[in-house]
A and B are shown apart, each in its own frame.
Chain A
Amino acid sequence: MGTIVQYILYLAVLVALAIPLGGYIAKVMKGEKTFLSRLLTPCERAVYKVMRVDPGEQMGWKRYAASVLLFSGISLAVLFLLQLLQGVLPGNPQNLPGVGWHLSFNTAVSFVTNTNWQSYTGESTLSYLTQALGLTVQNFLSAAVGIAVLFALIRGLIQVKKEGLGSFWVDMTRITVHILLPLNLVLAICLVAGGVIQNLKPAQTVSLLEPVAVSAEGEILEGADIDLESGAVTLNGRAVEGAQIVTEQFVPMGPAASQVAIKQSGTNGGGFMGVNSAHPLENPNPFTNLLEMISLLLIPAALCFTFGRCLKNKKQGVAIFLAMFLCLVTALAVVAVNEQMATPQLAQSGAVDLSAVQQAGGNMEGKESRFGIATSSTWAVFTTAASNGSVNAMHDSFTPLGGMVPMLLMQLGEVIFGGTGCGLYGMLAFAILAVFIAGLMVGRTPEFLGKKIEPFEMKWAVVVCLATPVAILVGSGIAAALPQVAESLGNTGAHGFSEVLYAFSSAGGNNGSAFAGLNANTVFLNLSLGLVMLFARFVPIVGTLAIAGSLAQKKRLAVTAGTLSTTNGMFVFLLIFVVLLVGALSFFPALALGPIAEFFGAIA
């Protein structure tokens, strides 16, 4: 009972916060006054002055797109160099060496594309300078780019017979200064209060209550007797030569909270620690978890309401929100049930207690005791619905079907809320596809929000919708055929294939979560996943801006009795249907080889 209440409350808190934030973002986009204007508008103006930007500039779609691409290109180059050179730069108390070229490339692409796939392990690979000036900055800016492109598309829908989509520089500045910075400053401080670390110290060591003996070959000696005084280790009555006694534990340090806040709220997801928000120093308790989990879906959900407000058609925002929300709830139900039921392999014919009495019960492999099943399942669905990709439990250790749902959510093109901005513009491309199909059925020229949908828009909408499935299928197809990839797998059989499929789904959906048993830090996987991320990020951005540019020039059609309503239940259903049609049909064969095969194998 308590568990179900928890699921409902998580969803309720999300919606309750998303609606007002959506209104706030709409004001920011239009440059209207908000309760923070007095403080923040002078900062905004100062940025324009430094950049020598005219805040009234109007860019056509090609110029807007060129600005996005060039800005992202420079960001990529800077982040790549920062990692290569971190060994000789300051802000590196652990004295970590520079990162290798292919890992640097992968991580730079991953952060610039808002994917934040982790081939790296933060605490052992990246210096504090790289984390703060590189990753944190791109967490902010890649999130802002997604929202900026969405703003341009919204302007394309609002404008009548005009060229301009607004200024990329102004949008980026407003989004960062008015939305992301204040939100994350508050969030980060709350996280520290809750127990997330935030300091500039080198890593610390603490004593172990029970020392651990390690053989000369580095193997843990279970059950060995340790004499701390003499340093002698005996196992089963025999002295072990060359054994080492480990008496201290490694405690990672660094400016984590500030980065964790934005990696959540910017749908980035790249953790300060290798195991991301499962790490107790990155997400110590249910309070910090609530903050991190709600904030990861907050902006994408709020943008639906922003969209409705900007179009002066709140019902439209609600319709799109509902389509996303219904998919989210369905996905959550499937994961929750499967994780709570666990597997026969874990149940051991009743020898293991899986009940929810005085414990979370269910499949606790890869899950933290403080989060249990409800909080871990909700996070898994939120993080893959949004293209966040942070985790508070290991998806690799989910049950076969419980792990398939997060994978499917990414394969649907990250449009069930999706990334900040990019989720909604992706969904709007599906909406264009939906009105086109509906138009064919009733024999009318399709139109969306008063704008006629013609071949130019259709072509680009199809490109936007298909970029993700094509990238995922081509990428995972090639990877599955290469023998060297098999050496990276952490599990065998159908589950091993799932690890590869998950990796490419994550890169293609710009999500960043992983079936982390896969060792992705190889030349082939770093490069191929990097290319998939670039393709799946920038092709849809160009397509969206092209559609926006074309729609801006069109006149607005009057609403007549024959106009297909895009705000009623019928449209919500149609939209979900089109998303599932493209996603499910593209991926059913691949899923049948991975999680579905594993599921039937496990219950057989």
Chain B
Amino acid sequence: MKKIKSILPRAAMLLLVFTVVCGLLYTLAVTGIAQVFFPHQANGSIIEVDGKRYGSELLGQQYTDEGHMWGRIMKLDVSTYRDEEGRALLYASPSNLSPASEEYEQLVAQRVKKLRAADPERGDEPIPVDLVTCSGSGLDPHISPAAAEYQVPRVARATGRSEDEVRRIVKDCTDGRFLGLFGEERVNVLEVNLRLDGIL
């Protein structure tokens, strides 16, 4: 009992000291530095054109227009978040489905069918896997260059642009691997679509 009495106040003190140091000072120091030196990144990399906020370059949206590049499959969520006036806001979550079940097989078959119908130019060519799978965050803003190339003829047809023009836009919105080594090459879908719409 005496032992506990001598330990307890020190344990509480240790927690208090480091709550102030690691919780408060550390968090505020990083926030301060971030806001001064990296305000764009620290505030969500939001794309703003003429005062209108057209999404974050880091958050995927769902596109179904034929004249837009399509992204990863999204499991949309319109029930969790609302704005101050109570209107529903869009968010998304991962599927968490096993890729080895029969239900999954049927789900992918439907997606293949839908893409084949939308992209008749591609005929029976295999569809890049990014276009028929849900991402890890549910909000993946990117697709692979193969997935973008697959859609080029459709987008060109629907927007009246030439395929080369669409390819040029895709290329402008493509990020390479870090140092040419790490991660994967990828196309930012929102940026492509903003350019297709003439906003960016």
Contact = CB atoms under 8 A, between A and B. Distances in A.
Contact of A67 (B7, B52, B90, B181): B7
A517 B3 CA distance: 46
B46 A206 contact: yes
A385 B8 CA distance: 34
Nearest to B129: A364
Nearest to A491: B98
Q: Among B7, B10, B96, B97, find the residue whose CB has the most chain A CB atoms closer than 10 A.
A: B96
B154 interface: no
B74 to A, nearest CB: 9
B10 A51 contact: yes
Interface stretch (A354-362, A415-423, A449-457, A562-570): A354-362
A593 to B, nearest CB: 15
Nearest to A346: B99
B18 A397 contact: no
A262 B27 CA distance: 11
A595 to B, nearest CB: 9
A278 B94 contact: yes
Interface residues of B, number: 113
A209 B26 CA distance: 38
B152 interface: no
Nearest to A362: B129
Nearest to A59: B7
B148 to A, nearest CB: 9
Interface in B23-72: 23-24, 26-27, 29-31, 33-35, 37-38, 41-47, 52-56, 58-65, 68, 72
B7 to A, nearest CB: 5
B178 A287 contact: yes
Contact of B45 (A73, A284, A352, A515): A284
Contact of B78 (A192, A246, A368, A397): A246
B44 A366 contact: no
A5 B143 contact: no
B34 A204 contact: no
Contacts of A200: 31
A244 B26 contact: no
Contact of A209 (B24, B54, B138, B183): B54
Interface in A196-244: 196-201, 203-210, 212, 214, 218, 220, 222-223, 244
A590 B11 CA distance: 41
Q: Among A50, A258, A273, A601, find the residue whose CB has the most chain B CB atoms closer than 10 A.
A: A258
A286 interface: yes
Interface string B76-113: 10111101000111110111111111111100110010
B101 A366 contact: no
Contacts of A214: 78, 88
A67 B6 CA distance: 10
A185 B183 contact: no
21 contacts: A5-B181, A63-B3, A173-B14, A176-B21, A197-B43, A205-B53, A209-B63, A209-B193, A210-B64, A251-B44, A255-B30, A258-B27, A275-B94, A280-B60, A359-B128, A364-B130, A367-B135, A370-B142, A371-B184, A394-B96, A602-B100
Interface of B: 3-4, 7-8, 10-15, 17-19, 21-24, 26-27, 29-31, 33-35, 37-38, 41-47, 52-56, 58-65, 68, 72, 76, 78-81, 83, 87-91, 93-105, 108-109, 112, 124-130, 132-147, 149, 175, 177-178, 181-186, 190, 193-194, 197
